[in-house]
Homo-oligomer: A and B are copies of this chain.
Amino acid sequence: MEKLLIVKLGGKVLADESKLNAALSSFADSSLRKILIHGGGNEASDLAEKMNVPVKMIEGRRITDDSMLEIVTMVYGGLINKKIVAQLQSLKINAIGMSGADGNIILSERRPVKTIDYGNVGDIKKINSGNLVKLLENDFVPTICALTHDGKGQLLNTNADTIAAAIAETLSECYDVELCYCFEFRGVLENVADKNSVIPEIDNKEFEKMKISGSINDGMIPKIFNALEASKKGVQKVYICSYESLDHPSKGTQICFK
């Protein structure tokens, strides 16, 4: 199978122009077919503040009422997506910006209200791999923001990490996928004080041990958990790596479910 690189750009990279440019350059340097996925939560909160729309978060998840949906649609689908696309085009990468509604690539359903009403938040039902493959095979680079739709005209806000994992899982049936969650470090570090102490590989057993021994930073736990889930569901290779080495993700930490 042909290789496919799928990169999720993290929040701290999006928020810093020089980091974003470095990330897009290293992404452009990869010669593989590829897909970029991004959110933009900090930027959405900034716009909300300017517009006096209250930002409500529960356990790190955004409550998306109608006003907030307009804001994330503008910020994720407009401001950030078009900025990234224009920048990638200047690097001769044939980016095409998309939400999950475009080409019907990500169908979701509104999250049911249990104890919390998240509002216009969508849980992924189906990745339309047919249209994504058509774009990839025609040499486009889908550049996907954290919006999905319900197929009935309603846009929904969906976490970008989850989108990246779902797309990687679905496309792992027709490509040899490398999924990269990138961030500001070179990989998962043995010792946070030593930026070169990258752990080359973490599997599920190792991860359990690290959690028990407390040798792992709390912030890293959900990142590694998500990456392990993707590996478990069949994504061929999953990495946590630096935004500066998207063309060589194996310099980071490979996360394997065994």
Interface residues of A (CB under 8 A from B): 47, 50-51, 70, 73-79, 81-83, 85-87, 89-90, 94-99, 101-104, 131, 134-135, 138, 140, 147, 149, 151-155
* Apart from A97-B97, A138-B138, 4 more pairs, CB < 8 Å: A73-B83, A77-B77, A96-B98, A97-B102
Q: A96-B102, A96-B103 are in contact. Are A151 and B89 (CB under 8 A)?
A: yes
Q: A51-B50, A96-B103, A103-B140 are in contact. Are A79 and B74 (CB under 8 A)?
A: yes
What are the residues of chain B within 8 A of A103 when measuring CB–CB?
A: 94-96, 140
A149 CA to B152 CA, complexed, in Å: 32
A90 CA to B74 CA, complexed, in Å: 20
Contact of A82 among B89, B101, B138 (CB under 8 A): B101
Q: For residue A140, which residue of chain B has the nearest CB?
A: B103
In contact, B50 and A82 (Cβ under 8 angstroms): no
A47 CA to B138 CA, complexed, in Å: 37
In contact, A85 and B101 (Cβ under 8 angstroms): yes
Contact of A86 among B89, B98, B153 (CB under 8 A): B153
Contact of A155 among B70, B82, B135 (CB under 8 A): B82
A98 CA to B70 CA, complexed, in Å: 18
A104 CA to B88 CA, complexed, in Å: 10
In contact, B131 and A94 (Cβ under 8 angstroms): yes
A8 CA to B18 CA, complexed, in Å: 38
What are the residues of chain B within 8 A of A76 when measuring CB–CB?
A: 78
Q: A77-B82, A101-B86 are in contact. Are A138 and B149 (CB under 8 A)?
A: no
What are the residues of chain B within 8 A of A74 when measuring CB–CB?
A: 47, 74-75, 78-79
What are the residues of chain B within 8 A of A98 when measuring CB–CB?
A: 96-97
What are the residues of chain B within 8 A of A140 when measuring CB–CB?
A: 103, 131, 134
In contact, A153 and B78 (Cβ under 8 angstroms): no
A74 CA to B86 CA, complexed, in Å: 14
A-B interface, 7 closest residue pairs, ranked by CB to CB distance from nearest: A78-B78, A74-B74, A90-B153, A77-B78, A74-B78, A86-B101, A96-B102
What are the residues of chain B within 8 A of A95 when measuring CB–CB?
A: 101-103
**What's the minimum C-beta distance from A146 to chain B, rounded to whole angstroms?**
12
What are the residues of chain B within 8 A of A79 when measuring CB–CB?
A: 70, 73-74, 77-78
**What's the minimum C-beta distance from A77 to chain B, rounded to whole angstroms?**
4
What are the residues of chain B within 8 A of A82 when measuring CB–CB?
A: 73, 77, 99, 101-102, 147, 155
What are the residues of chain B within 8 A of A70 when measuring CB–CB?
A: 79
